[in-house]
Copies of this chain bind each other. A is one copy, B any other.
Amino acid sequence: MLHVNENYSKIKPTYLFAEIAHRVAAHQAAHPEAKVIRLGIGDVTEPLAPSVVAALHRAVDDEADRSRFHGYGPEQGYAFLREKIAEVDFRARGVEVSADEILVSDGAKCDCGNFQELFAGDVRIAVGDPVYPVYVDTNVMAGRSDIRLLPCTAANGFVPGPEGCDADIVYLCYPNNPTGAVATKAQLQAWVDWANERKALIIFDAAYEAFIRTPGIPHSIYECAGARTCAVEIRSFSKTAGFTGIRCGYTVVPDGLSAYAADGRPVELRGMWTRRQTTKFNGASYLTQRAAEAVCSPEGQAETRATVDFYLGNAAIMKEALRGLGYAVTGGDDSPYLWVDVKGDSWAFFDRLLAEANVVTTPGAGFGAAGEGYIRISAFNSRENVLEAVSRLKKVL
């Protein structure tokens, strides 16, 4: 008799987006004439940049020509892309990360979910609360039960520090999903010092890095002294360049970064991650990697930055309106997300906005207990919808 992995039954079912969909469908059925505006989702709405589209067409033509055809690529990604990423995302910002420290994948969610495989079953995990559920669920599925929550509250500016955190791995995400908060260099440095001191690991999720506009806010954990000996960094082209449907991300695993065997001997994580990827993954699509290369070109950088600026413009319009209505709002300056203190039950507020304004948001309680009392609003939408949503909110709030 074949036995299942019992840990799967220990995951808390996440009904959040299913429940939202259910409530929206019921509302729409009751009010078929209502024009519902969806500010709940975290998916992009704008098309790919022109230089990316041109690169994709060229890559498709490569695959149509025997002499330029690309079959299996390196599981770690093509050198043409890894070198461009090292240059544009790191060297240009004064951060030294080499091409062979960058391992390309089909997305940051996969890397966030898979990286925990490299570690023992009994390691202790720390995550923020509220949290992107992938960090927690993938550890629970692997049998880990010691998961400590770091409350992200107005009192700590939604950026918890390492004081008293007794864990082996901490997941940090800045700009944060769902709160939109960013961490200062001093705040990140405290985590780096904590990790080096106790030989712990930071898994730094920088999926929303492209939204940072405030000078001085770190774009990479490697801007902190000592981060190369205690941190991996996960990046995504999804929000940077609208690749949610194209699928590309990468993880930086610095030379020499190690964890420890049971006998205390250091084991390099890049070798382990490479082994994981070469065994269970066959590389990101060639088309995707050519598209990502185009994002790294001067034209691609300008075009994708303009789209991110557009989303940030949406966020600024909504933030100003909500503040004008008397709500405390975090995020939106360096993030596509607004985290709004609704001064009450988050599902009740969600229901009210849906019923009275035909606007869909995400109740903060869905991201963890410390998210209760907040809603997340996403800036991924058309300007027209954002202006209309703001006009409706002003009428009902």
Contacts and interface: CB of A to CB of B under 8 A. Distances in A.
Contacts of A214: none
Interface stretch (A148-156, A178-186, A258-266): A258-266
Q: Which of A2, A5, A284 has the most CB of B within 10 A?
A: A2
A63 B53 contact: yes
Interface string A237-272: 000001011110000000000011110100101001
Contacts of A9: 261, 267
A117 B5 contact: yes
A141 B276 contact: yes
A353 interface: no
Interface string A267-292: 10100100110011111111110000
Given A3-B262, A119-B2, A71 B245 contact: yes
A67 to B, nearest CB: 9
A284 B69 contact: no
Contact of A246 (B134, B262, B287): B287
A45 interface: yes
A158 to B, nearest CB: 25
A63 B48 contact: yes
A53 B69 CA distance: 12
A29 interface: no
A72 B43 CA distance: 7
Interface in A44-101: 44-48, 50, 53, 56-57, 60-61, 63-66, 69-73
B8 A118 contact: yes
Contacts of A119: 2-5
Interface string A196-217: 0011110000000000000000
Interface of A: 1-6, 8-9, 11, 43-48, 50, 53, 56-57, 60-61, 63-66, 69-73, 106-107, 109-110, 113-114, 117-123, 133-134, 137-138, 141, 168-169, 198-201, 242, 244-247, 259-262, 264, 267, 269, 272, 275-276, 279-288
Given A2-B123, A57-B57, 4 more contacts: A1-B199, A9-B261, A43-B71, A48-B63
